[in-house]
């Protein structure tokens, strides 16, 4: 809601990946809605952002208008081929045309959180690779800033960790990217190739060009928390975080009908990249993930020999136990049984040869990842003679929160990598 003549409605449709923004005229119900934005929500480069809100006289949040009342303010992430740079725009509520009012620059990542009453002073949260997030007031006219908070680095031990957003290509030409972390003090000439951990989570797309867009911000402050894979940097491992694993189905094709083939292609491209750069030892790469990333991990262990070991946390491995859809899959089991079965690593358990660490919260309430999923996979792998360890975390849900649970998971991950990635 904006005012009596302006209200906005956001509309999304999964099948077409369409996102639309309509203007409604509350004081004139007979007036047809006006389409302001019509785009694919997979297209991060065209994302207009979200409205900056204000409080009405009744203390309700409403759209914040420019002083002339003709436009509203939008704040967005600002993904582009050059990187991710948050912005502030105005959007004309008659035409949908936008005007760039401000955009952050290197070396910062600085999203706009709010505008003050004079419309020129913004509240932002600024961070960089070396500076933790803090709140600032920024004047758009003279670009002067006033720092409001002074939060220190919560983990200065990670100050010298090197982070880089890297780009490479899949064999079929699809552009891919990942966040590469190297341990503090790493010297390629002195240290050579490192044991490396991939932490994965695939995404589905209907457009191969949009699947290759750069959406990872390089200017963010990275510190580990809870069971983050980044803690392994302290033990001398390189980490490739969130390497792009797009599962693409253009036109009438369903992405998951070629899930396995595209998953393998994406993983192969990532391995080739870090090995070609001399960062990773090809014989000492571990693959891991949480939830759908755990599902991906076991699939890659079943269908490739790219990885020396695996870590799967709170995953689902038998898709017949999620028969009415999962992730972005809208077809049910009976409509796409072949795809469900082929995607299920449980049905390919006999192919898993690398050591696999399975972790699950005892009270996982996520409907797609009940603990039964991990229990049944463990029993299958154990019966087939695989090297597998199953860890149950008492009272933990889908994410792990207790000091004991988090500590146990970190110990398990470090111990597993030491056991199977350290040269004999």
* Six token digits for residue 387: 């090297």
Residues 6+ apart with CB under 8 A from 132: 151, 152, 153, 154, 221, 223
* Start-to-end CA span in the chain (Å): 64
256 burial (CB, 10 Å; 0-12 / 13-18 / 19+) is buried
* Six token digits for residue 376: 């049944």
Distance CA 272, CA 270 (A): 5
Q: What is the 3-state secondary structure (H, E, C) of the chain?
A: CCECCEEEEEEEECCCCEEEEEEECCCCCCCCCEEEEEEECCCHHHCCCEECEEECCCCCEEECECCCCCEEEEEECCEECCEECCEEEEEECCCCCEEEEEECCCCCECCEEEECCCCCEEEEEEECCCCCCEEEEEECCCCCEEECCCCCCCCHHHCCCEEEEEEEECCCCCEEEEEEEECCCCCHHHHCCEEEEEECCCEEECCHHHHCCCCCCCCCCCCCCCCCHHHHHHHCCEEEECCCCEEECCCCCCHHHHHHHHHHHHHHHHHHHHHHCCCEEEEEEEEEEECHHHHHHHHHHHHCCCCCEEEEECCCCCHHHCCCCECCECCCCCCCHHHHHHHCHHHHHHHCCCCEEEEEECCCCCCCCCCHHHHHHHHHHHHCCCCEEEEEECCCCCCCCCHHHHHHHHHHHHHHHHHHHCCC
Q: Is the peptide bond before 107 cis (omega within 30 degrees of 0)?
A: yes
Could you list the active site residues?
A: 291, 364, 398
Distance CA 155, CA 157 (A): 5
């Amino acid at each position: 809601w904006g005012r009596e003549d302006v209200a906005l409605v956001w509309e999304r449709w999964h099948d077409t990946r369409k996102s639309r923004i309509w203007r409604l005229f509350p004081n004139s119900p007979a007036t047809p809605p006006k389409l302001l934005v019509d785009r694919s929500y997979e297209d991060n480069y065209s994302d207009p952002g979200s409205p900056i809100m204000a409080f009405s006289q009744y203390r309700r949040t409403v759209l914040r208008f420019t002083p002339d009342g003709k436009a509203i303010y939008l704040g967005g992430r600002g993904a582009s081929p050059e990187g991710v740079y948050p912005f502030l725009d105005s959007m004309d509520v008659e035409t949908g045309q936008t005007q760039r009012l401000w955009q952050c620059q290197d070396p910062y990542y600085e999203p706009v959180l709010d505008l003050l009453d004079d419309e020129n002073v913004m509240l932002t949260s600024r961070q960089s690779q070396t500076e933790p997030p803090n709140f600032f007031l920024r004047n758009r006219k003279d670009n002067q800033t006033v720092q409001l908070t002074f939060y220190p680095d919560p983990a200065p031990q990670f100050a010298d960790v090197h982070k880089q957003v890297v780009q490479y290509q899949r064999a079929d030409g699809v552009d891919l990217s990942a966040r590469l972390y190297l341990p503090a003090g790493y010297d390629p000439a002195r240290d050579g190739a490192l044991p490396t951990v991939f932490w994965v989570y695939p995404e589905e797309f209907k457009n191969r060009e949009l699947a290759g867009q750069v959406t990872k911000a390089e200017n963010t402050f990275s510190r580990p928390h809870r069971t983050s894979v980044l803690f392994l940097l302290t033990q001398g491992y390189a980490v490739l975080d969130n390497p792009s694993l797009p599962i693409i189905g253009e036109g009438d094709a369903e992405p998951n009908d070629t899930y396995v083939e595209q998953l393998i292609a994406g993983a192969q491209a990532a391995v080739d990249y870090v090995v070609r750069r001399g960062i990773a030892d090809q014989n000492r790469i571990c693959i891991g993930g949480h939830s759908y990333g755990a599902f991906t991990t076991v699939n890659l262990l079943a269908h490739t020999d790219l990885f020396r070991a695996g870590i799967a946390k709170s995953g689902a491995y038998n898709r017949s136990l999620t028969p009415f859809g999962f992730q972005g899959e809208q077809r049910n089991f009976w409509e796409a049984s072949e795809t469900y079965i082929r995607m299920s690593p449980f049905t390919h358990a006999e192919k898993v040869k690398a050591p696999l660490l399975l972790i699950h919260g005892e009270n996982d309430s996520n409907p797609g990842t009940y603990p039964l999923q991990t229990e049944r996979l463990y029993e299958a792998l154990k019966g087939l003679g695989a090297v597998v360890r199953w860890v149950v975390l008492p009272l933990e849900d889908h994410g792990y929160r207790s000091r004991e649970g988090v500590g146990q998971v970190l110990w398990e991950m470090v111990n597993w990598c030491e056991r199977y990635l350290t040269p004999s």
